[in-house]
Amino acid sequence: MTLDKLGIGSPQLVIFDKDGTLIDFHAMWGRWLVEVAERLEAALGAPVADRLYQMMKYDPVSGKVSDGPLAGTTMESIRRLTAATLHDSGLAAEAVEAALQVAWHLPNPVALAQPLTHLPTLFGQLHERGAKVAVATIDDREPTQATFAGLGVASMIEAMACADDGLPLKPAPDMILFICRKLNISPAQTVMVGDSTQDLKMARAAGVGLAVGVSSGVTPAETLSPLADIVLPSIAELV
């Protein structure tokens, strides 16, 4: 499948979500959650991992994450949800906060980042077609920049909108509209590629020319299909 067959002609801009779209969501966030859960159990002296996995919709057997807090909220919100879950299990708020101070850490944005295709090739092909490349993610800017620098593609991305940029988050259209204004490109000449319903709702709200779902993340194709113009197995099928 190529963009030529998707009915938009030659798009001027392709905006990608990050985790689950460009980066293997399960490899990054599943491994991170296990690390945090193990540290919390050690700090609290209590078996809390299964409760956290259930809240985060993580299956420790398959190593897969379903659509839930890990896929749709910011790190700040995930920390609050973790604290609330531990407190609801009967642990004292003071003990929970003390354990989080010891156990909580951000995912390593380089070591845990496994690209879902060869990104230099993908971005290079889009540039050859005259399209700019951008990223809209609910991850913060510093780890996002570190991820793409580690993968050697930071210079190939013309614009980014991140969770801590002060913009309304997905599914609001603001991230896409911000990128389009920055690059002086109409949303109608823009393709949005994402693995979640939030990505596609954002795309629809912004009025992009094409909304492409990819089933490489946390959301199955049948859930993405009603919101997408097309659903692909992965970004490897895009060009």
Q: Label each residue of 37-91 as H, E or C.
A: HHHHHHHHCCCCHHHHHHHHCEECCCCEECCCHHHHCCHHHHHHHHHHHHHHCCC
The pLDDT value recorded for residue 67 is 80
What is the per-residue pLDDT for 75?
Answer: 86
The per-residue pLDDT for 70 is: 85
Question: Which domains does the chain carry?
Answer: 3-23+113-237 (3.40.50.1000), 26-103 (no CATH)
Query: In this predicted structure, what is the pLDDT of residue 5?
Result: 62
Burial of 5 (0-12, 13-18, 19+ CB in 10 A): exposed
Using CA atoms in the order 168, 186, 234, 152, what is the torsion angle rounded to 10 degrees?
A: -80
Give residue 4's pLDDT: 67
pLDDT reported for residue 177: 99
Predicted structure pTM score: 0.90
pLDDT, block means (10 residues), the chain with 239 residues:
66 97 94 96 95 95 88 87 94 95 93 96 96 96 97 98 96 99 97 96 97 95 96 94
Q: How far apart are CA 21 and CA 196, in angstroms?
A: 9
Q: Are 145 and 154 in contact (CB under 8 A)?
A: yes
